[in-house]
Amino acid sequence: MTSPLITPEQLAALEGATVLDVRWRLGGPPGLESYREGHIEGAVFCDLDADLAAPPGEAGRHPLPEAQSFQSAMRRLGVSDDRPVVVYDDAASTAAARAWWVLRYFGHRDVRVLDGGLPAWIAAGRPTTKEVPQPAEGDFTARPGGMPVLTADEAAALAGAGVLLDARAAERYRGEVEPIDPVAGHVPGAVSAPTTDNVGPDGRFLAPERLRARFAGLGVTEGVPAGAYCGSGVTAAHEVLALEVAGLPAALYVGSWSNWVADPSRPVATG
């Protein structure tokens, strides 16, 4: 299996790739400002809120974009079907994982995440630039269905029949705090699995064998159906990416907690 991750050295040697800078913070500041201060040469800024999600609503805070909208955004950023895409951020690949997942969902076959992101690139002695490229329009064709997804009902069923991982911080899972959504708690039967445990202190993913051991401890082994959710489908994509690094397939509940609590009839667990 080809790893979904790429090192700074491998990226520096990779010719013809489209590189997307997906820096983003929940609540800001805008990643575009950081991009303008310095980025990998040739990288184009990709706006998570505008390019990788539809407008917020009952479907969640970061619903899947419509195929045509996503296709147009990716073509504007220079993404083509036959060119590899490398995505990165500066936050342990949290936002980059969302870009990786959405591109894979819409059918791009060669997408990799820069392991450790921009900090790893700089630590490797690689240069950055403030020059903003003007990419030629790409020819990417969005073909939905490339990655498995879960509806709210399917997530609820999976929590009983397999393993549904909650990628948020443990205190949000337990319902002790909820800084964003109107209801605190978790999907009944879900297992707490904060994405912060997928990476080391340097923001790079743990080795595949360590990730396999982590997920085995949470009940996810070969043959066990697995899925992940978070607040709005961003950090849960990071969980799916970590599972893929470990060689374990998993589905994403894209609407996640923000969609779950939009229906007051859905049960909520705490503790």
Among this protein's residues, is 46 annotated catalytic? no
The predicted model gives 44-55 an average pLDDT of 97
- Pair of tokens at residue 238: 């990071």
| Percentage of the residues of the chain whose pLDDT score is greater than 90 | 97
Is pLDDT of 1 > 80?
no
Mean pLDDT of the chain: 97
CB distance 107 to 144 below 8 Å:
yes
Please report the pLDDT score of residue 118 as a whole number.
Answer: 98
Give the C-alpha separation, 121 to 124, whole Å. 5
**152-260: CATH superfamily:** Rhodanese-like domain (3.40.250.10)
Cβ-in-10-Å burial (0-12, 13-18, 19+) of 166 comes to: buried
Candidate list 230, 250, 254, 262, residue with the active-site label? 230
pLDDT band for position 202 (cuts 50, 70, 90): very high
Residues 169-181 have pLDDT tens digits of 999 999 999 999 9
Average pLDDT for residues 112-134, to the nearest whole number? 98
- CATH 3.40.250.10 region(s) of the chain? 5-123, 152-260
183: tokens are: 């209801």
Q: Using an 8 Å Cβ cutoff, are 73 and 131 in contact?
A: no
Token pair 């319902």: residue: 175
Report yes or no: 167 and 231 within 8 Å, Cβ to Cβ.
Answer: no
pLDDT digit string, tens, across residues 55-112 = 999 999 999 999 999 999 999 999 999 999 999 999 999 999 999 999 999 999 999 9
Distances (CA, A) of 63 to 55, 57, 245: 7, 8, 24
Q: What does pTM read for this prediction?
A: 0.97
The domain 5-123 is classified under which CATH number: 3.40.250.10, 3.30.70.330, 1.10.1760.20, 3.40.640.10?
3.40.250.10
